[in-house]
Structure 1
Amino acid sequence: MKVVVAGAGRLGTQIAQVLGAAHNEVTLVDQDDDRAAALLGHVPAEVRVGDACEPAVLEGAGAHSADLVVATTGEDEDNLVISLLAKRQFRVARVIARVNDDENAWLFTPHWGVDTAVPAAAPLISLIEEATSATDTVALLRLSRAGVSVIETVITDQSRAVGHTLAELAVPPGIVVAAVVRDGDPKAPSPGFELREGDVVLVVSHAATESEVHAAFQ
């Protein structure tokens, strides 16, 4: 997934850290030269200097081919402009914006290009969950000391796994299907468990990548 994060404050930087660590292609944009310089080499993302409210800056950051734009600046006006440009000019499929002032929340609608508005009071995990829902396979958690990742993949009507049991799938070695969430109810699947559209599969792996899990289920 290709992601542009506008605003390299604490929130934007953490989003870039999480999505970059999950092997997404992330570009982090901020107009503060010193802040951007301090982040170079310290986040798994390309760091660019510029005002993301300017179309040329967004284009240079890759908005024309981005799957997701996340506007996390400290100014609601900027987040709205960035969202509108991303959606209307660059046709970005998914745009998420942080609302700094609750009184402005009514503006953060599809009319301004915002697919999902996240209130300032919402915890960081809420914004991460919104961002990662833009893809059907994503690493949710990396336990670096154990070398283990928890990877989520969502079964859609186009998934090759629909109607097949776990035993029938060519699951890569080194992964374990830990749970399948169906209609909000987590289940511990057996090899004969048949997957359906809408199932959320949680995989624990010490070797397989997101792309390998995606290939097995999607």
Structure 2
Amino acid sequence: MRVTIAGAGAVGKSIASELIENGHEVMLIERDLAEVAPEAVPQAEWVHADACEVASLEDASVQNCDVVIAATGDDKVNLVVSLLAKTEFAVRRVVARVNNPRNEWLFTESWGVDVAVSTPRMLAAMVEEAVSVGDLVRLLTLRQGKANLVEVTLAENTALAGRPVRDVPLPADAALVAILRGGRVIVPQSDDPLEPGDEMMFVAGEGVEDEIHRVLTSGDPGGRELI
């Protein structure tokens, strides 16, 4: 996969290194000459240019990329890069960094953004996930808010303890994708029993998170206790 990253600061370089390590081709575009440091990520292609200019993106052949990542520290720049990548160059997948959570509402498909990544929101979610038992924590937003990755840690007194996964009456727009138990990652099977302390990871559609939480605390979407 060929990936273009706009912004070669600490975040951009870190993303580039990870992607290259995973076997992808990466091009870094940076307008600040002081940040252009090919020795930092030597396997990447480096371009000194302004990613907010159509001509610069044309010269860099952004239209041949599979993914564009707008990773600068300026939300306005990230929005412009995302819009140009999607509307002018028809890039299939556009990922944008959100620096200020107050601007998150702008990072939608209207601005060409397929996936918005808010570092403050993710850090807050990680803190909640670390200290919350029985509460539902949203870890990541997918598909412009149409689905979310959420986590619930089963409480010690859960009525679901010992019940197999198939007995969990989830709503139609939710899927249990993993269970974290101690140091293990479990791909859930219908016969797997649940245990207190299990960290259950779900992909959930819009509007069903409260229902998932109700199911895991009462055992039934209608609020009836499991017996």
Query: TM-score of the superposition, structure 1-length normalised?
Result: 0.56
- Preserved CA contact (<8 Å) 1:17 1:43: no
Q: After superposition, where does 1:1-218 map in structure 2 within 5 Å?
A: 1-36=1-36, 38-40=37-39, 42-121=41-120, 122=122, 184-185=177-178, 186-187=186-187
Take 1:30 and 1:103, find their aligned partners in 2: how far apart are those partners? 25
Give secondary structure in 2 for the equivalent of 1:90.
Answer: coil
- Preserved CA contact (<8 Å) 2:38 2:44: no
Letter matched to residue 55 of structure 2: A
Give secondary structure in 1 for the equivalent of 2:113.
Answer: coil
Take 2:25 and 2:117, find their aligned partners in 1: how far apart are those partners? 22
- Preserved CA contact (<8 Å) 1:16 1:43: no
Take 1:25 and 1:85, find their aligned partners in 2: how far apart are those partners? 21
Q: Sort the Cα spacing of 1:41 and 1:15 in 2 relative to 1 into closer, same or farther, 3 A.
A: closer
- Preserved CA contact (<8 Å) 1:21 1:44: no
Give secondary structure in 2 for the equivalent of 1:96.
Answer: strand
- Preserved CA contact (<8 Å) 1:40 1:47: no
Q: CA RMSD in A?
A: 2.5
Higher relative CO (CA 8 A, sep ≥ 6), structure 1 or 2?
1
- Preserved CA contact (<8 Å) 2:2 2:65: yes
Letter matched to residue 2 of structure 1: R
- Preserved CA contact (<8 Å) 1:4 1:62: no
Take 2:55 and 2:80, find their aligned partners in 1: how far apart are those partners? 13
Task: List gaps (5 residues or longer) in structure 1.
Answer: 131-181, 189-218
Give me the identity figure in percent.
44
User: 1:55 Cα deviation (Å)?
Assistant: 1.1
User: 1:183 Cα deviation (Å)?
Assistant: 5.2
